[in-house]
Amino acid sequence: MTTQPGVEFRSLTIPASLDAAGSDEFREFTRVRNAVYREIADNDDDAITPEELLPQYQPSSEAIRYVWAVHRGGRMIGRAGIDFPLEEGSRAGFWLVELLREHWGVGIGSAALALVERTAREHGRTVLQSWAEHPDAPGPRLAAPTGFGSIPEDHVARFYRRHGYALEQIERESRLDLQTSADTVARLLRDAEAAAAGYRVVQWQAPTPAEYVDGYAWMKSRMSTDTPMGALEFDEEVWDADRIALHDKRVLDGGRTMLVTAAQHLATGELVAFNELTIGADATAPSHQEDTLVLKEHRGHRLGQLVKCAGLTTWRRDIAPASDRVITFNAEENRPMLDINEAIGFVPSAYHGAWKKVVE
Protein backbone atom coordinates (compact mmCIF):
# COMPACT_ATOMS: atom_id res chain seq x y z
CA MET A 1 0.00 0.00 0.00
CA THR A 2 1.34 3.46 -0.93
CA THR A 3 0.69 6.48 1.28
CA GLN A 4 2.96 9.13 -0.12
CA PRO A 5 5.48 9.16 -2.92
CA GLY A 6 8.18 6.59 -2.37
CA VAL A 7 6.79 5.17 0.90
CA GLU A 8 5.28 1.71 1.11
CA PHE A 9 4.12 -0.57 3.90
CA ARG A 10 4.73 -4.15 2.80
CA SER A 11 3.26 -7.03 4.70
CA LEU A 12 6.32 -8.97 5.90
CA THR A 13 6.69 -12.52 4.67
CA ILE A 14 7.57 -14.75 7.60
CA PRO A 15 9.86 -17.51 6.32
CA ALA A 16 9.49 -20.96 7.87
CA SER A 17 13.24 -20.94 8.44
CA LEU A 18 16.20 -18.74 7.62
CA ASP A 19 17.16 -21.11 4.79
CA ALA A 20 13.77 -20.68 3.14
CA ALA A 21 12.85 -18.29 0.34
CA GLY A 22 12.07 -14.82 1.70
CA SER A 23 14.61 -15.03 4.49
CA ASP A 24 16.73 -12.15 3.09
CA GLU A 25 13.83 -9.79 3.77
CA PHE A 26 13.57 -11.10 7.33
CA ARG A 27 17.31 -10.63 7.85
CA GLU A 28 17.05 -7.03 6.64
CA PHE A 29 14.01 -6.51 8.87
CA THR A 30 16.08 -7.66 11.88
CA ARG A 31 18.99 -5.44 10.90
CA VAL A 32 16.75 -2.36 10.65
CA ARG A 33 15.10 -3.23 13.99
CA ASN A 34 18.49 -3.38 15.68
CA ALA A 35 19.66 -0.16 14.00
CA VAL A 36 16.58 1.72 15.25
CA TYR A 37 17.23 0.58 18.83
CA ARG A 38 20.93 1.45 18.55
CA GLU A 39 20.04 4.98 17.43
CA ILE A 40 17.66 5.46 20.36
CA ALA A 41 19.67 3.87 23.17
CA ASP A 42 23.19 4.44 21.85
CA ASN A 43 24.06 0.80 22.59
CA ASP A 44 23.40 -2.71 21.27
CA ASP A 45 21.82 -4.09 24.42
CA ASP A 46 18.59 -4.85 22.56
CA ALA A 47 20.24 -6.34 19.48
CA ILE A 48 18.96 -9.75 18.45
CA THR A 49 19.87 -12.11 15.62
CA PRO A 50 17.40 -13.15 12.90
CA GLU A 51 17.61 -16.68 14.35
CA GLU A 52 16.45 -15.39 17.75
CA LEU A 53 13.76 -13.11 16.33
CA LEU A 54 12.14 -15.54 13.87
CA PRO A 55 10.46 -17.83 16.45
CA GLN A 56 8.65 -14.78 17.85
CA TYR A 57 7.03 -14.23 14.47
CA GLN A 58 5.81 -17.75 13.80
CA PRO A 59 2.02 -18.14 13.88
CA SER A 60 0.82 -18.92 17.38
CA SER A 61 -2.35 -19.59 19.33
CA GLU A 62 -1.53 -16.65 21.65
CA ALA A 63 -2.05 -13.73 19.31
CA ILE A 64 -2.78 -12.63 15.76
CA ARG A 65 0.20 -10.61 14.59
CA TYR A 66 0.32 -8.13 11.71
CA VAL A 67 3.71 -6.88 10.64
CA TRP A 68 4.82 -4.53 7.89
CA ALA A 69 8.24 -3.49 6.65
CA VAL A 70 8.33 0.24 5.91
CA HIS A 71 10.08 1.03 2.63
CA ARG A 72 11.11 4.43 1.31
CA GLY A 73 12.88 5.08 -1.96
CA GLY A 74 13.54 1.35 -2.38
CA ARG A 75 15.10 0.83 1.07
CA MET A 76 13.68 -0.72 4.21
CA ILE A 77 13.63 2.08 6.82
CA GLY A 78 11.50 0.74 9.63
CA ARG A 79 8.73 -1.53 10.74
CA ALA A 80 5.18 -1.41 12.00
CA GLY A 81 3.04 -4.04 13.62
CA ILE A 82 0.16 -4.84 15.88
CA ASP A 83 -0.67 -7.89 18.01
CA PHE A 84 -4.16 -8.95 18.99
CA PRO A 85 -4.08 -11.30 21.99
CA LEU A 86 -6.45 -14.23 21.60
CA GLU A 87 -7.69 -14.29 25.21
CA GLU A 88 -11.48 -14.50 25.18
CA GLY A 89 -13.14 -11.09 24.94
CA SER A 90 -9.83 -9.26 24.49
CA ARG A 91 -10.21 -5.57 23.53
CA ALA A 92 -6.46 -5.01 23.30
CA GLY A 93 -4.08 -4.24 20.47
CA PHE A 94 -0.36 -3.83 21.18
CA TRP A 95 1.46 -1.95 18.43
CA LEU A 96 4.78 -0.54 17.41
CA VAL A 97 6.00 1.83 14.73
CA GLU A 98 9.78 2.20 14.56
CA LEU A 99 11.65 4.21 11.93
CA LEU A 100 15.29 5.04 11.34
CA ARG A 101 15.87 8.55 12.64
CA GLU A 102 16.64 10.23 9.32
CA HIS A 103 13.05 9.42 8.27
CA TRP A 104 11.31 10.98 11.27
CA GLY A 105 9.16 14.10 11.06
CA VAL A 106 7.81 13.82 7.50
CA GLY A 107 4.57 11.99 8.24
CA ILE A 108 5.66 8.37 7.76
CA GLY A 109 5.01 7.45 11.41
CA SER A 110 1.52 8.97 11.23
CA ALA A 111 0.75 7.01 8.06
CA ALA A 112 2.00 3.79 9.67
CA LEU A 113 -0.09 4.42 12.77
CA ALA A 114 -3.17 5.04 10.62
CA LEU A 115 -2.63 1.58 9.05
CA VAL A 116 -2.15 0.03 12.51
CA GLU A 117 -5.29 1.68 13.89
CA ARG A 118 -7.36 0.75 10.83
CA THR A 119 -6.31 -2.86 11.32
CA ALA A 120 -7.33 -2.66 14.99
CA ARG A 121 -10.76 -1.31 14.00
CA GLU A 122 -11.21 -4.16 11.52
CA HIS A 123 -10.61 -6.58 14.39
CA GLY A 124 -12.92 -4.70 16.78
CA ARG A 125 -10.01 -3.88 19.11
CA THR A 126 -10.52 -0.66 21.03
CA VAL A 127 -7.76 -0.49 23.69
CA LEU A 128 -4.54 0.39 21.88
CA GLN A 129 -1.28 0.32 23.82
CA SER A 130 2.36 0.84 22.97
CA TRP A 131 5.77 1.37 24.61
CA ALA A 132 8.71 3.60 23.70
CA GLU A 133 12.06 4.52 25.17
CA HIS A 134 12.42 8.21 25.98
CA PRO A 135 16.13 9.01 26.42
CA ASP A 136 16.77 11.69 29.01
CA ALA A 137 16.85 15.24 27.63
CA PRO A 138 16.60 18.78 28.96
CA GLY A 139 13.33 20.74 28.71
CA PRO A 140 9.69 20.15 29.62
CA ARG A 141 8.72 16.80 31.08
CA LEU A 142 5.60 14.67 31.32
CA ALA A 143 4.76 12.93 34.59
CA ALA A 144 3.07 9.53 34.76
CA PRO A 145 -0.43 9.48 36.33
CA THR A 146 0.81 6.73 38.68
CA GLY A 147 2.76 9.49 40.48
CA PHE A 148 6.05 7.71 39.77
CA GLY A 149 8.46 8.89 37.13
CA SER A 150 8.51 11.31 34.22
CA ILE A 151 9.89 11.48 30.70
CA PRO A 152 11.06 14.35 28.50
CA GLU A 153 8.39 15.69 26.18
CA ASP A 154 10.37 14.53 23.15
CA HIS A 155 9.47 13.88 19.51
CA VAL A 156 8.08 10.45 20.33
CA ALA A 157 5.94 11.77 23.24
CA ARG A 158 4.56 14.54 21.01
CA PHE A 159 3.77 11.93 18.35
CA TYR A 160 1.74 9.84 20.80
CA ARG A 161 -0.12 12.83 22.23
CA ARG A 162 -0.96 14.31 18.86
CA HIS A 163 -2.52 10.96 17.96
CA GLY A 164 -4.63 10.86 21.13
CA TYR A 165 -2.51 8.61 23.34
CA ALA A 166 -2.00 9.25 27.05
CA LEU A 167 1.05 8.35 29.09
CA GLU A 168 -0.04 5.74 31.66
CA GLN A 169 3.09 4.35 33.28
CA ILE A 170 6.86 4.66 33.33
CA GLU A 171 9.05 1.60 33.13
CA ARG A 172 12.56 1.73 34.43
CA GLU A 173 15.26 -0.21 32.59
CA SER A 174 18.13 -1.16 34.90
CA ARG A 175 21.49 -2.85 34.58
CA LEU A 176 23.47 -5.03 36.92
CA ASP A 177 27.20 -5.64 36.62
CA LEU A 178 27.36 -9.43 37.00
CA GLN A 179 30.96 -9.57 38.18
CA THR A 180 31.16 -6.78 40.77
CA SER A 181 27.78 -7.69 42.29
CA ALA A 182 28.74 -11.29 43.18
CA ASP A 183 29.51 -10.66 46.88
CA THR A 184 26.36 -8.62 47.44
CA VAL A 185 24.25 -11.27 45.72
CA ALA A 186 25.79 -13.99 47.93
CA ARG A 187 25.05 -11.99 51.11
CA LEU A 188 21.47 -11.19 50.06
CA LEU A 189 20.92 -14.84 49.17
CA ARG A 190 21.95 -15.91 52.70
CA ASP A 191 19.62 -13.28 54.24
CA ALA A 192 16.73 -14.41 52.06
CA GLU A 193 17.32 -18.10 52.84
CA ALA A 194 17.21 -17.28 56.56
CA ALA A 195 13.88 -15.44 56.13
CA ALA A 196 12.31 -18.07 53.88
CA ALA A 197 12.07 -21.09 56.18
CA GLY A 198 9.39 -23.39 54.80
CA TYR A 199 10.42 -22.85 51.19
CA ARG A 200 13.14 -24.29 48.98
CA VAL A 201 14.69 -23.20 45.71
CA VAL A 202 14.24 -25.32 42.58
CA GLN A 203 15.79 -24.48 39.21
CA TRP A 204 15.49 -25.70 35.65
CA GLN A 205 16.38 -24.73 32.13
CA ALA A 206 13.84 -24.73 29.31
CA PRO A 207 12.19 -27.09 28.41
CA THR A 208 10.23 -27.13 31.66
CA PRO A 209 10.41 -30.52 33.43
CA ALA A 210 7.00 -32.26 33.59
CA GLU A 211 6.82 -31.97 37.39
CA TYR A 212 6.95 -28.16 37.25
CA VAL A 213 4.70 -27.48 34.26
CA ASP A 214 1.43 -26.92 36.17
CA GLY A 215 3.01 -24.74 38.85
CA TYR A 216 4.93 -22.67 36.33
CA ALA A 217 1.79 -22.26 34.18
CA TRP A 218 -0.18 -20.95 37.17
CA MET A 219 2.56 -18.44 38.07
CA LYS A 220 2.82 -17.26 34.44
CA SER A 221 -0.94 -16.65 34.43
CA ARG A 222 -0.62 -14.50 37.58
CA MET A 223 1.95 -12.29 35.82
CA SER A 224 -1.01 -10.92 33.86
CA THR A 225 -3.04 -10.07 36.98
CA ASP A 226 -0.71 -9.50 39.95
CA THR A 227 1.80 -6.94 38.71
CA PRO A 228 1.42 -3.11 38.88
CA MET A 229 -0.08 -1.90 35.61
CA GLY A 230 -1.58 1.53 36.31
CA ALA A 231 -4.49 2.10 33.93
CA LEU A 232 -3.05 -0.18 31.26
CA GLU A 233 -5.32 -3.02 30.23
CA PHE A 234 -4.01 -6.58 30.04
CA ASP A 235 -6.17 -9.66 29.58
CA GLU A 236 -6.07 -12.29 32.24
CA GLU A 237 -4.02 -14.97 30.52
CA VAL A 238 -4.82 -18.65 30.71
CA TRP A 239 -1.66 -20.77 30.78
CA ASP A 240 -1.68 -24.56 30.41
CA ALA A 241 0.85 -27.21 29.46
CA ASP A 242 0.47 -26.40 25.74
CA ARG A 243 1.21 -22.74 26.31
CA ILE A 244 4.28 -23.55 28.40
CA ALA A 245 5.43 -25.88 25.60
CA LEU A 246 4.98 -23.05 23.05
CA HIS A 247 6.86 -20.62 25.31
CA ASP A 248 9.72 -23.10 25.75
CA LYS A 249 9.80 -23.91 22.03
CA ARG A 250 10.22 -20.21 21.20
CA VAL A 251 13.20 -19.99 23.57
CA LEU A 252 14.84 -23.12 22.20
CA ASP A 253 14.09 -22.49 18.50
CA GLY A 254 15.79 -19.11 18.89
CA GLY A 255 18.90 -20.80 20.29
CA ARG A 256 18.35 -19.08 23.63
CA THR A 257 19.05 -20.36 27.13
CA MET A 258 16.55 -19.73 29.91
CA LEU A 259 17.01 -20.47 33.59
CA VAL A 260 13.91 -20.49 35.76
CA THR A 261 14.48 -20.24 39.51
CA ALA A 262 11.40 -20.96 41.62
CA ALA A 263 10.53 -21.11 45.32
CA GLN A 264 8.59 -24.19 46.35
CA HIS A 265 6.36 -24.15 49.44
CA LEU A 266 7.45 -27.25 51.32
CA ALA A 267 4.14 -27.86 53.13
CA THR A 268 2.10 -28.06 49.92
CA GLY A 269 4.71 -28.66 47.20
CA GLU A 270 3.32 -25.63 45.33
CA LEU A 271 5.55 -23.31 43.30
CA VAL A 272 4.92 -19.82 44.67
CA ALA A 273 7.61 -17.51 43.25
CA PHE A 274 9.79 -17.45 40.18
CA ASN A 275 12.44 -15.56 38.26
CA GLU A 276 13.61 -15.97 34.65
CA LEU A 277 17.06 -15.23 33.22
CA THR A 278 17.83 -15.54 29.50
CA ILE A 279 20.64 -15.11 27.01
CA GLY A 280 21.00 -15.64 23.27
CA ALA A 281 23.61 -17.64 21.40
CA ASP A 282 26.33 -15.00 21.95
CA ALA A 283 27.72 -15.87 25.38
CA THR A 284 29.28 -12.41 25.77
CA ALA A 285 26.03 -10.51 25.14
CA PRO A 286 24.02 -8.97 27.99
CA SER A 287 21.69 -11.31 29.89
CA HIS A 288 18.07 -10.41 30.46
CA GLN A 289 16.04 -10.86 33.60
CA GLU A 290 12.48 -11.41 32.42
CA ASP A 291 9.47 -12.28 34.59
CA THR A 292 9.72 -12.28 38.39
CA LEU A 293 6.69 -12.82 40.61
CA VAL A 294 5.78 -13.90 44.12
CA LEU A 295 2.18 -15.16 44.38
CA LYS A 296 0.16 -12.75 46.52
CA GLU A 297 -0.51 -15.26 49.33
CA HIS A 298 3.22 -15.84 49.78
CA ARG A 299 4.52 -12.28 49.84
CA GLY A 300 6.48 -11.07 52.88
CA HIS A 301 8.97 -13.97 53.13
CA ARG A 302 11.75 -12.46 51.01
CA LEU A 303 10.93 -14.90 48.23
CA GLY A 304 11.54 -12.28 45.52
CA GLN A 305 15.04 -11.72 46.86
CA LEU A 306 15.50 -15.48 47.20
CA VAL A 307 14.66 -16.39 43.61
CA LYS A 308 16.52 -13.42 42.13
CA CYS A 309 19.71 -14.02 44.09
CA ALA A 310 19.65 -17.80 43.67
CA GLY A 311 19.08 -17.29 39.94
CA LEU A 312 21.90 -14.77 39.54
CA THR A 313 24.31 -17.01 41.48
CA THR A 314 23.72 -20.04 39.25
CA TRP A 315 23.65 -17.86 36.16
CA ARG A 316 27.04 -16.25 36.69
CA ARG A 317 28.74 -19.41 37.97
CA ASP A 318 27.35 -22.15 35.71
CA ILE A 319 25.46 -20.75 32.74
CA ALA A 320 26.65 -17.37 31.47
CA PRO A 321 30.04 -16.55 33.02
CA ALA A 322 31.05 -14.53 29.94
CA SER A 323 28.03 -12.22 30.06
CA ASP A 324 29.00 -9.02 31.86
CA ARG A 325 25.57 -7.61 32.74
CA VAL A 326 21.90 -8.25 33.26
CA ILE A 327 19.15 -5.96 31.97
CA THR A 328 15.69 -5.79 33.49
CA PHE A 329 12.49 -3.72 33.36
CA ASN A 330 10.23 -2.71 36.24
CA ALA A 331 7.25 -0.43 36.69
CA GLU A 332 8.57 2.74 38.31
CA GLU A 333 5.92 2.42 41.05
CA ASN A 334 6.85 -1.19 41.87
CA ARG A 335 8.76 -0.26 45.04
CA PRO A 336 9.03 -3.76 46.54
CA MET A 337 10.66 -5.09 43.35
CA LEU A 338 12.85 -2.00 42.87
CA ASP A 339 14.01 -2.24 46.49
CA ILE A 340 15.32 -5.75 45.83
CA ASN A 341 16.92 -4.82 42.51
CA GLU A 342 18.58 -1.72 43.96
CA ALA A 343 19.94 -3.70 46.93
CA ILE A 344 21.39 -6.26 44.49
CA GLY A 345 23.10 -3.43 42.58
CA PHE A 346 20.86 -2.75 39.58
CA VAL A 347 21.15 0.89 38.47
CA PRO A 348 18.67 2.73 36.21
CA SER A 349 19.85 3.00 32.62
CA ALA A 350 16.77 4.22 30.71
CA TYR A 351 13.08 5.04 31.03
CA HIS A 352 10.25 3.86 28.82
CA GLY A 353 6.72 5.25 28.52
CA ALA A 354 3.62 3.05 28.31
CA TRP A 355 0.97 4.77 26.19
CA LYS A 356 -2.72 4.04 25.71
CA LYS A 357 -5.69 5.21 23.67
CA VAL A 358 -9.24 3.89 23.83
CA VAL A 359 -11.13 4.21 20.55
CA GLU A 360 -14.86 3.84 19.81
Task: Please give the residue ranges that form the binding site for ligand COA (CB under 6 A).
Answer: 40, 96-99, 104-110, 130, 132, 155-156, 158-159, 162
CB of 73 to ligand COA, least distance (A): 15
CB of 113 to ligand COA, least distance (A): 7
Question: By C-beta, is 51 or 233 nearer to ligand COA?
Answer: 233
Question: By C-beta, is 152 or 311 nearer to ligand COA?
Answer: 152
For 98, half-sphere exposure in the C-beta direction (CA atoms, 13 angstrom radius) is: 22
Question: By C-beta, is 4 or 179 nearer to ligand COA?
Answer: 4
Are β-strands 127-133 and 347-358 bridged in parallel, bridged antiparallel, or unpaired? antiparallel
DSSP track, 64-126: EEEEEEEEETTEEEEEEEEEEE-STT--EEEEEEEE-GGGTTSSHHHHHHHHHHHHHHHTT--
CB of 109 to ligand COA, least distance (A): 2
CB of 1 to ligand COA, least distance (A): 16
Tell me which residue has its CB nearest to ligand COA.
Answer: 109
Question: By C-beta, is 106 or 231 nearer to ligand COA?
Answer: 106
CB 5 within 8 A of CB 72: no
CB 320 within 8 A of CB 289: no
In this structure, the chain runs to a length of 360
CA nearest 145: which of 352, 348, 333? 333
CB of 99 to ligand COA, least distance (A): 4
Angle between helices 335-344 and 303-314 (to 10 degrees): 40
CB of 46 to ligand COA, least distance (A): 12
CB of 156 to ligand COA, least distance (A): 4
Whether the bond between 207 and the residue before it is cis, its omega within 30 degrees of 0, is: yes
Instruction: Report the DSSP beta bridge partners of residue 69.
Output: 10, 79
In sign, the C-alpha dihedral spanning 22, 251, 68, 7 is: negative
Question: By C-beta, is 119 or 275 nearer to ligand COA?
Answer: 119
Question: By C-beta, is 91 or 163 nearer to ligand COA?
Answer: 163
Rounded CA separation 2/229 (Å): 37
With 0-12 / 13-18 / 19 or more C-beta atoms within 10 angstroms meaning exposed / middle / buried, residue 74 is: exposed
Rounded CA separation 306/303 (Å): 5
CB of 316 to ligand COA, least distance (A): 32
